[in-house]
Amino acid sequence: MKYIIILLFAAFVSNAQVKKEQLNLMPWPQNINLTAGNFAINKNFKINVTGNPNSRIFAGATNFLRRLDGRTGLFFGQGFISKINQTPTAELQINCVQAGNIGLNQDESYKLEIQENKILITAASDLGALHALETLLQMLQNDSSKYYFPTATISDTPRFTWRGLMIDVARHFQPVDVLKRNLDAMAAVKLNVFHWHLTDDQGWRIQIKKHPKLTDLASDGLFYTQEEIKSVVKYAGERGILVVPEIDVPGHASAILTAYPEMGSRTNASTLYEIERNAGIFNPTLDPSNPKTYQLLSDIFDEVCPLFPGAYFHIGGDENEGKDWDANPKIQKFKKKNKLETNHDLQTYFTMQLVPMLKKHGKQLMGWEEIMTKDMSKQAIIHSWKGPNEGLPAGHSVAAAAKNGYQTVLSNGYYLDLMQSVNDHYLNDPIPHNSTLTTEERARILGGEATMWTELVTPATLDSRIWPRTAAIAERLWSSQDIVDLESMHNRMNATSYRLEELGITHIKNKDVILRNISNNQEIKALADFSNVCEPLKIYSRNAGGTEYQMYSPLTLFADACTPDAIDAHNFNKATDNYLKNKNSENKRELVAFFQKWIATNKDLVQLGLNAPLVQPILPLSKSLSEISQQLIATIENKQASNSSKMNELLEKCNSKNHADVELAVYKSLKKLVNN
């Protein structure tokens, strides 16, 4: 595949000054043709808008101007772009044929032509024009003294119409400003659906005026007013992003039942429900046999639906194990009376009651894949999430849903909270090459959605869990299926990562904040260096059991500063492979430099620990890495035989998952070296 990509690049670069490989475009556009020339940017740079766009293009173009301003330091004279044909002679001309609508299956295509004295953006609507502006910003190049755009022609359109990010604001509440900066980042990588997981066992996060008890009793004061919801929806709309709300029922109901215990499925009314403080799957479930349950949900939908102009409403529907239903004779009786054999049938009955409540407001019901039962309406959208972790083949339900006649969205493989490598997400295709689906079935696969569950994610760490990895997922959903070169993806993702700071994304800067706290205001270099070879424990093995940390725990630990794809591990793995292929002195030197660094880091961490209690949990792992580094230096320099029992003992210490909630991301390469 790498070969194909290189060929693809090689075909176009002969006359260009800037080569395609140098461009940090992400998602990579469908077609790009670089030519030999540059558009020089100066202080007089201006933008003009023509056609019949929605007014969101004015804010979008103004934001573009300010971002280009901030990068170049030119501080353009043009202030606010606020009307059609305001500056007819402007260098950047944006023409939109018509006003874009926020929703699925819109024409989001654009054409971007960068000439030496002119830049032309033409798009069916402002939605495509906003994408074009993001691409143009990504085209920015520089030499030592100035910034410029290389001349080029780009035509582009997305592969999938649903390119989403879900944020769970129930487990850890995420304030409005956190969401807004993430909407900015979504727009920057051409994502267009924000799925807002508003309720769960751990909190009810949306004001319901008719039922203030929901937030009074079940939010700890952490919720969005309806004004705030509107402001987020408006902000998203200005960026071309559809917002899909989720009210998760009938399970995940600890919070709603804290406010309304009488609608719960427990037989003993005196058993109080409480806001859940731990992580896991819990029993509290709405009572589907109680008419009041439907009245409450109808009231809620009547308030929530009008806040979201989009056509989709997510009702959750996942992880209801039905234990409280089984234990309740009244519900068992109800099942019999309604000829509902299984709890799945009962849940389908429940869900089908919601369909007309939502239809009344023009909303199509969407739910997690558990709602796909034999009697479920074909109008429902199936959200595929289960996979190998749940004992199913990857992407199983997305294909099943498409075959069953449902529209569907893939999230299995895009679970950001699993702390897996971006490579896994990137290569996870909603319609893989080997798919046997028909054209008609494929058309039902709307796209995919990255999911950010927040059991272990605070507002301070949210961005570092989502970004930059979600840029790679965005590329999978936007770009051609053939764009799969991992090295290219990593390079472009790293450039994208740095640019996300411009939008206020905190993934880089908040890492230092956590490390400063751990260091107790000492120099953080050693901690930062060590964090670059450590990754948080993966696939729910951190906080296993869900009770070590509570939802109110501040999560200021070393694992919270670490991320998947530890950067030095990535580089060390390459150095190891090089060395194992060719043990020349340069490759040796490169490996030994890593080992020397880790030995020094350990010394510094020990020193730091003298005045920093939070450094203590890290030391055993750092010590193990230092010790094996010393041994490996000796081995590599041929002073000592490798593969001794001592080496294996040291190696296994480096495989420990018992320290500071992290694992050494260099373990596999160390093992290769030891066993070499």
Q: Smallest Cα–Cα separation from 376: which of 364, 394, 387? A: 364
3-class secondary structure per residue, 359-388? HCCCCEEEEEHHHCCCCCCCCCEEEECCCH
**Three-state DSSP state, 141:** strand
Tell me whether strands 141-142 and 147-156 are parallel, antiparallel or unpaired. antiparallel
Residues with Cβ < 8 Å from 321, sequence gap 6 or more?
251, 281, 283
Which residues, in sequence order, are bridge partners of residue 415?
451
**Shortest Å, Cβ 501 to a copy of itself:** 5
- Complex with a copy of itself: residue 71 or 623, whichever CB lies closer: 71
Shortest reach from residue 628's CB to a copy of itself, in Å: 25
Residues 558, 637 contacting (CB under 8 angstroms): no
Catalytic residue among 116, 303, 319, 502: 319
Phi, psi of 206 (to 5 degrees): -130, 130
Nearest CB to a copy of itself, comparing residues 2 and 234: 234
Residues found near a copy of itself in the complex (CB under 8 A): 59, 66-67, 69-73, 75, 77, 79-80, 142-147, 175-177, 220-221, 225, 227, 277, 460, 495, 498, 501-502, 504, 506, 508-510, 512-513, 516-518, 520-521, 549-550, 552-554, 556-557, 609-614, 616
Q: Which is nearer to a copy of itself, 73 or 329 (CB)?
A: 73
What is the rounded CA–CA span in Å between residue 181 and residue 232? 11
By beta-carbon proximity to a copy of itself, the closer residue of 12 and 147 is 147
Nearer to a copy of itself, 31 or 611 (CB): 611
| Between 97 and 495, CB nearer to a copy of itself | 495
- Minimum separation from the CB atom of position 73 to a copy of itself (A): 5
Please identify, using beta-carbon distances, which residue of 401 and 557 lies nearer to a copy of itself: 557
CA quadruple 102, 108, 111, 114: dihedral sign? positive
Pairing label, strands 203-204, 199-200: antiparallel
C-beta of 547 vs 643, nearer to a copy of itself? 547
Tokens in use for 637? 């320099």
Residue 612 vs residues 435, 510, 527: alpha-carbon distances, Å:
54, 19, 12
Q: 422 or 660: whose CB is closer to a copy of itself?
A: 660
Q: C-beta of 68: minimal distance to a copy of itself in Å?
A: 9
Cβ-based nearer residue to a copy of itself, 144 or 436: 144
**Residues 143 and 67 sit within 8 Å (Cβ to Cβ):** no
Residues in the chain, how many? Answer: 676
Burial class from Cβ neighbours inside 10 Å (0-12, 13-18, 19+) for residue 143 reads: exposed
Contact between 200 and 293 (Cβ < 8 Å): no
Q: Which residues have C-beta within 8 Å of that of residue 143, sequence separation ≥ 6?
A: none
Measured from the CB of residue 294, what is the shortest distance to a copy of itself in angstroms?
31
> Are residues 367 and 405 in contact, defined by beta-carbon separation less than 8 angstroms?
no
DSSP 307: G
Q: Residues 153, 111: contact at Cβ < 8 Å?
A: yes
- Give the nearest distance from C-beta 69 to a copy of itself in angstroms: 5
Smallest gap from Cβ 176 to a copy of itself, in A, equals 7
Nearer to a copy of itself, 212 or 362 (CB): 212
Catalytic: 319? Answer: yes
- 152 contact partners, CB below 8 Å, separation of at least 6: 32, 33, 34, 35, 112, 113, 114, 139
Largest CA distance in the chain: 81
Q: What is the DSSP string of 457-479?
A: --TTTHHHHHTTHHHHHHHHHHS
Q: Tell me how far apart the alpha carbons of residues 179 and 417 are, in angstroms, rounded to a whole number.
A: 17
> CB of 288: closest distance to a copy of itself in angstroms?
31
Find out whether 23 and 31 touch, Cβ atoms under 8 Å: no
Sign of CA dihedral 171, 172, 175, 177: negative
Q: Give the shortest CB-568-to-a copy of itself separation in angstroms.
A: 15
CB of 79 to a copy of itself, least distance (A): 5
- Buried b / exposed e along 45-80 (16+ C-beta atoms within 10 A): bbbbbebebbebbbbbbbbbbebbbeebebebebee
**Angstrom distance (rounded) from CA 573 to CA 81:** 49
Token match 């001592």: residue? Answer: 646
Minimum distance of a copy of itself from residue 594's CB (angstroms) = 18
Point out the residues that are catalytic.
Answer: 319
